[in-house]
Structure 1
Amino acid sequence: MRRKLVVGNWKMHGSHQANAELLAGIRAAGPFGCDLAVCVPFPYLSETAVTLAASDLRWGAQDCSAHAQGAYTGEVSAAMLHEFGCRYVIVGHSERRGYHAEGDQLVADKAKAALAHGITPIVCVGETLAQREAGETDAVVKRQLSAVIHTLGHCAGEMVVAYEPVWAIGTGRTATPEQAQAVHALLRTQLQAATAHADTMTLLYGGSVKPDNASTLFGQPDIDGGLIGGAALKAADFVAICRAAG
């Protein structure tokens, strides 16, 4: 039986004081019946690592470079993240694909770089509203995941996959449990053709997950937790979502 995982994606939010209050609120509410992690902006990795060192909470980053080192101003390598004890790194988030023109192969290369340093990549896939309305959802998410499967090869079973319909991220709109489950089942089937570990892999849903819809979403057979955006910035909401997963 797959253990649920809830990951908070802070995006470009945070401050020393806000971070301390948020993490203290989450820790005070534990223990939880699921695995928890927070993916924080790069400048806050050090303080997050120190704050969570004696807890069951894990931490990670929101992106990493596909390169090991070199003249790549502004980039952060997986090796650097490893030094801060990162357990996870998000790659291919729709905001990176959209705002920074990151393509499928670049996302795959980032996932490979993360695994090479013992960091679990959380690989995001998802369609836009136009693509869903055109009936292209299945083709889009399969194409995005296929690039990663091909690049990781026999290591494909070591990643976490997060389905995040772009039209539901930060919009207040959420895929119905049935819509989300249908895509998760599709992804699980695609993974089954690529790795013997597909049935034990963690597949997350992301896109306006809130305390009042988390339980129904997480109750679907192929949804193993959530990648949480806005609600991850409020301790009470994040804790409630974690309770729904546990």
Structure 2
Amino acid sequence: MTPDLKPLIVGNWKMNGDRDQLDQLAILAHRISHEFQQSVDVVVCPPATLLYVAKTISEGSPLMVGAQDCHNEATGAHTGDISAEMIADCLAEFCIVGHSERRNNHRETNSHVAGKVKACWRAGLASIVCIGETKAQYDACEVDMIITKQITDSIPEGATEKDTIIAYEPFWAIGSTKIPSLKSLKEIHALIRDILVRRFGDHGLRIRILYGGSVRPENATELLSIQNVNGALVGGASLQTADFLAICQSCQSLVRNHY
């Protein structure tokens, strides 16, 4: 973790959750209000069907709300798509773009992702830009090349710490119990930081870099202790309020210990 950057924990519910889940969201908002307001930023990204209700429930608490994807156009004949402006109209503050499941399942390219980042900025949303490699690319020692190209091509010029967050998620770690070695994570996050600084100068020093991929209460402290890991993008564990809060608590403990 980087001491001078406030850490960020993001819960990505993916295609999970309905109105029954909102009781747990209310509990989360209450706990965040009383336990994490000063030390950790917390965001929940529910399905689009729950965005506005989630924001209403979290109103008055520091718990923030984000979406899981957006279209790059503001309006138009794009049946089934949701624009960044519509997300902002639901009072959300963040939007995940370029998640590996979108890149893989919907064949989204770096160019597609860059267009969505611009859409987020246009609508006043902070973009959480996901990058990461496949297992074959990891085993072939191509991580540096893949990460460099994704950052270069997926993030437009002018990115700042106010409108951009990076989430490194190795595709092969998502939904598994396997993660890169701590040594690899340290090297990869250092590489990401170096690329950001070279591209965006002082802003690159302050853009938060999250780690995602099998983040659980059991490994959160170890992962969040790594230099240039400024938080986590949490998938499955974010669906269980107790687990998600435990990850937030691990992050808060590290902050208090001056990591």
Q: TM-score range by the shorter chain?
A: over 0.9
Match of 1:92 in 2: 98
- In 1: Cα distance, 2:24 partner to 2:100 partner: 25
Question: 2:55 and 2:200 mapped to 1: Cα distance?
Answer: 32
TM-score normalised by length of structure 1:
0.96
Query: Any stretches of 5+ residues in structure 2 without a counterpart?
Result: 253-259
User: Are the counterparts in 1 of residues 13 and 236 from structure 2 also a CA contact under 8 Å?
Assistant: yes
Counterpart of 1:153, as a letter, is E
What SS does structure 1 have at the residue aligned with 2:95?
A: strand
SS of alignment partner, residue 17 of structure 1: helix
Q: Using structure 2 for the length normalisation, give the TM-score.
A: 0.91
Letter in 2 for 1:11: K
Partner of 1:177: 182
SS at match of 2:233: strand
Provide the rounded CA distance (Å) in 1 between the counterparts of 2:64 and 2:100: 23
Aligned partner of 1:3 among 2, 6, 28: 6
Instruction: State the alpha-carbon separation in 1 of the partners of residues 165 and 181 from structure 2.
Output: 21
> Unpaired runs of 5+ in structure 1?
none
Alignment of 1:231 with 2:237, yes or no, is yes
Answering whether residue 112 of structure 2 is matched by residue 106 of structure 1, we say yes
Which sits farther off after the overlay, 20-29 or 234-243? 20-29
What corresponds to 1:203 in structure 2?
Answer: 209
Greater shift in the superposed pair: 76-85 or 154-163:
154-163
Question: 1:156, 1:194 within 8 Å by CA — same for their partners in 2?
Answer: no
Alignment correspondent of 2:158: 154
Check whether the contact 2:121–2:127 (CA below 8 A) recurs between aligned residues. Answer: yes
2:23 to 12, 16, 21: 21
Partners of 1:78 and 1:117 within 8 A in 2: yes
Shift of 1:156: 4.9
Is residue 22–residue 233 contact of structure 1 (8 Å, CA) maintained in 2?
Answer: no
Give aligned-pair identity as a percent.
40
Q: Secondary structure at the match of 1:101?
A: coil
Shift of 1:177: 2.4
Which whole-Å deviations, capped at 9, do the CAs of 1:178-222 have from their partners, x for residues lacking one? 222211110110011111211111000000000111111111110
CA distance in 1, matches of 2:199, 2:57: 38
Moved more, 175-184 or 86-95: 175-184
1:50 lines up with 2:41 in the alignment: no
Q: Aligned partners of 1:195 and 1:115: how far apart in 2?
A: 16
CA displacement at 1:24 relative to structure 2: 2.6
Moved more, 87-96 or 140-149: 140-149
Matched to 2:158, the amino acid is H
Q: Contact 1:41/1:61 (CA < 8 Å) preserved in 2?
A: yes
Count of matched residue positions in the alignment of Structure 1 and Structure 2:
243
Residues in 2 aligned to 1:127 and 1:46: alpha-carbon distance in whole angstroms? 33
Runs of 4+ in 1 over 4 A off after TM superposition: none
**Bigger mean CA deviation after superposition, 120-129 or 22-31:** 22-31
